[in-house]
Amino acid sequence: MTLGLFFFMVIVDGTIVSIAIPTIAQTVHVATAQATLLVSLYLVVISALLLFFGQLGDAVGRFRLFFWGTVVFVISSLIAGISSDFTIVMAARFFQAVGAAITMATSFALVTEIFPSDQLGFALGIESIFISLGALAGPGLGGIILASFSWHVIFLVNVPVGVLCILVELVVLPKSGTRIASIHLDWLGLAWMMALAMTAYLLSAQVGANPLVILGLLGLLLVLLAGFWHHERRTKYPLMVPEIWQNLVFRRNVTATFINFLVAYSFTLLAPLYLQLGLGYTSQTTGLLLMIPPLVALVVNPLAGILVDRVNQASVAAVGAGLLLAAEVGLVWDQQQNEPFTFAAISVVMAIGTGLFSTANNTMIMQSVSRDQRGSAGAVNSLTREFGMMMGATGSTILYYAVISHQLGQRTVTAIDVPNTARLAAQSIVYLVGAGLLISIWWLMMSLRRHINDRKESRN
């Protein structure tokens, strides 16, 4: 429960700031696009360090590393919460992400060490619920906090919860854990990941920039990704096991994970802007509306887990992807209606689709690899999730402000004091692109369904 609570907190912190972007931008006197970097930086740093800290945990002990990751996260949350200087908040956000990366990299492995094999499935299921709730609940919780407190409390709320987790860890968690004394660390792999992260961060800061600069950074990102892959295939001690990518089911499901979180994070960033700036709702009303998905997920996710154990997993994932596609198309239509009830209904459909798709998809990923590859598979899946969120934040922000700038006939990097028609047009374009990407997920799941059925028939 302690691991789950802290995991919930670090994932919430990836999304909770999104609803405070307009408020933070106005308070510290920066553009909304610049304030969005608080979200991008967090995701970029986690993506860069996740695999390395997983490897480091094997070397120094996961329990010890998890504890110090918790400490770093809590201290940096306190610094971010008491400062009103944007530069200091950004620096604190960096170290917050370092602490989050440590805990994310070691959490699943800790669960496998703590629980016996006959309780492991239940324990990982509970952990998955915390992950889903964390991803969905951030904006809603942020809105409720902002209704009564300043944006600083979004960071400060982590402190008492984090201190409680630290105290429980000192009492409950073993003082030592499984350690591989002879393990070697892939420092060059870390350097490649840091270069990738820096390029991704620079890309996220290019809102309103020359399209050639954006394309150049995208090209550099692809080159660095190819370089990292080449290094991992050749090194003796890789950050991840390249062989798992030869698995067709694993490869397709991880690709689907990336696309799903890329699209989902576009909604996470844009929905608060739509509700607050477009419809004029208060932070409290916005927060209540954005709490609909996590509340629905509380009911749907356990039921989805039962369903996945009984029917074809790819079929469940395909149905979930279809519901996500329907919700995304609904968001495009809703931009022209300005109807909160329609938005709420779409949120329910989205939450059901997310529960069905994510539960089935994650199950297929972990069952597609051998037992000795599950640690690497889990780390890659976590990295894919964070990288998808990061690219979703970057891509949707660049596209959103590019469309607004086109509508206004001049470059702009803020959504405040902008005609509502320009904001709605920008969101519609982003959601249309998202709908196109979700079609590819549905196709991947349907092709996997056929692949699994063909394999069963060949065995018979």
Amino acid found at 452: I
Amino acid found at 459: R
Please write the tens of the pLDDT for every residue from 26-39.
888 888 778 878 88
* Mean pLDDT lowest among 125-139, 177-191, 329-343: 125-139
Q: Where are the alpha helices (DSSP H) in 278-373?
A: 283-290, 292-310, 313-334, 340-367
Please write the tens of the pLDDT for every residue from 260-312.
999 988 888 888 888 888 788 887 788 788 888 878 887 887 788 778 777 88
Query: Which pLDDT value is given to residue 233?
Result: 87
Question: How far is 211 from 224, CA to CA, in rounded Å?
Answer: 20
Topology adopted by domain 243-460 = Growth Hormone; Chain: A; (1.20.1250)
Architecture of domain 1-183: Up-down Bundle (1.20)
Query: Which pLDDT value is given to residue 78?
Result: 94
Q: Is 153 helix (H, G, I), strand (E, B) or coil?
A: helix
Please write the tens of the pLDDT for every residue from 353-366.
988 898 888 888 87
Query: Which pLDDT value is given to residue 458?
Result: 62
Max mean pLDDT among 68-77, 202-211, 307-316, 327-336 falls in 68-77
Amino acid found at 201: Y
pLDDT higher than 60, residue 117: no
Query: Which pLDDT value is given to residue 62?
Result: 74
The CA angle 301-304-306, to the nearest 5 degrees, is: 115
Both tokens of 73, joined, read: 């996260």
Query: Which pLDDT value is given to residue 93?
Result: 93
How would residue 386 be classed by pLDDT, with cut points 50, 70 and 90? confident
pLDDT higher than 70, residue 135: no
Q: Pick the more confident residue, 180 or 312.
A: 312
pLDDT higher than 60, residue 121: no
DSSP codes joined into one string, 12-79: HTTTGGGGGHHHHHHHHT--HHHHTHHHHHHHHHHHHHHHHHHHHHHHH-HHHHHHHHHHHHHHHHHH
pLDDT higher than 70, residue 190: yes
Q: How many other CB atoms are found less than 10 A from the CB of residue 85?
A: 10
What percentage of residues in the chain have a pLDDT greater than 70? 84
DSSP codes joined into one string, 98-142: HHHHHHHHHHHHHHHHHS-HHHHHHHHHHHHHHHHHHHHHHHHHH
Query: Which pLDDT value is given to residue 52?
Result: 87
What mean pLDDT do residues 252-265 have?
Answer: 91
Mean pLDDT of the chain: 81
Q: Pick the more confident residue, 118 or 442.
A: 442
Query: Which pLDDT value is given to residue 349?
Result: 94
What mean pLDDT do residues 151-171 have?
Answer: 84
Q: Pick the more confident residue, 123 or 188.
A: 188
Question: How far is 399 from 426, CA to CA, in rounded Å?
Answer: 8
Q: Pick the more confident residue, 223 or 167.
A: 223
Question: How far is 251 from 3, CA to CA, in rounded Å?
Answer: 28
What mean pLDDT do residues 47-62 have?
Answer: 80
